[in-house]
Amino acid sequence: MSSNLQRAIEAGQFVMTAEVTPPLSVDPKDLLEKAMPLKGFADAVNVTDGASAKTHLDATIAAIILKENGIEPILQLTCRDKNRIALQSQLVGASAMGLHNILILGGDDPKKGDQPEAKAVFDLDSTTLIQTAATIRDKHELLHGRKVGGDPHFFIGAADAPVDPKEGWEPKGLLKKVEAGAQFAQTQFCMDADVVARYMARLAEFGITDKLSFLIGVAPLASAKSGRWMKENLFGTVIPDWIIDRMDAAADPKAEGKAIAVEVIEQLAQIPGVRGVHLMAPLNEHAIPDVITEVRKRVKKAAR
């Protein structure tokens, strides 16, 4: 059994994912108000897990709600908040509910959130949690050997941040995640196609692009100010100066942000090793369906 996302990637389609941050609300309608505009556009939708180290509607519950409403979820699972007992229970529960797409992350430092006195757990790191999910799926057991009933299925994702590789640079951390069982990667914002091309070429030298499907992070920017803030505050973000300059000169910055995102995605789609994009739109969420629609017109093999 495989997820729709996994089948699309394996079929060679250029996939486009998006994400929602569950609200701090017990009313499912508040989540669906954010998520339903993506239905029929994004191939899958990430459900963030305690984003920005803040309390939200539980990610697993939010992913189930999306699935019940016809949206394929990607459940984000962070190492920050739970020990291995709880994390393994969450993985088993996710599979039991048909949540097969899992993106495993370390998680933001609680000191950066609105409850800085909260204790971070980090009993497992992201690589070990990837290995745990793969072991549950492939061996039907936990890492220490206890058997897991049923027939678990996971499509396992890892986070990544493309860099412009210097001479001698090696993707050691990413290699460990691949060896642990990661199958796809969603990256931080990288809107420089030349950087991505050089990065993918270096990863190909290590055989990574044959084993890991890359979805590159792209943003339809809301303004030049937003782009500058992302570059300065979001670790690993790559937004070239020409994009900021175009946003500065635009009469309608949000429309320009959409146009730039489409152009960048067209360039990324031509790069060997890039299997799709992950769209995140701070302060401009309503732009995502328009961007996806336009990309589908232009990029061959775009998933539908």
Query: CB-based contacts of 297: which residues, under 8 Å, 6+ apart?
Result: none
pLDDT at residue 283, as a whole number: 80
Query: CB-based contacts of 91: which residues, under 8 Å, 6+ apart?
Result: 77, 102, 132, 133, 136, 152, 154
Site of tokens 């060896």: 179
Per DSSP, 304 falls in state -
pLDDT at residue 219, as a whole number: 97
Every domain of the chain and the residues it spans: 4-298
CA 195 from centre of chain: 19
pLDDT at residue 125, as a whole number: 97
Residues of the chain with pLDDT under 70: 302-304
- Helices (DSSP H) in 101-251: which residue ranges? 126-139, 172-180, 193-205, 224-233, 241-249
Structure tokens at 60: 């697993």
Query: CB-based contacts of 10: which residues, under 8 Å, 6+ apart?
Result: 2
pTM of this structure: 0.96
pLDDT at residue 84, as a whole number: 97
Please state, in angstroms and rounded to a whole number, the distance separating the CA atoms of residues 104 and 133: 9
CATH code assigned to 4-298 = 3.20.20.220
Binning the chain into helix, strand and coil, the percentages to the nearest 5 are 45, 15, 40
Structure tokens at 206: 């290590």
pLDDT at residue 207, as a whole number: 97
pLDDT at residue 272, as a whole number: 97
Per DSSP, 193 falls in state H
Which amino acid would we find at residue 236?
Answer: G
Longest alpha-carbon distance in the chain: 61
Q: How many residues does the chain have?
A: 304
Going by C-alpha positions, the residue among 163, 188, 160, 189 that lies closest to residue 176 is 160
Please state, in angstroms and rounded to a whole number, the distance separating the CA atoms of residues 64 and 227: 33
pLDDT at residue 282, as a whole number: 83
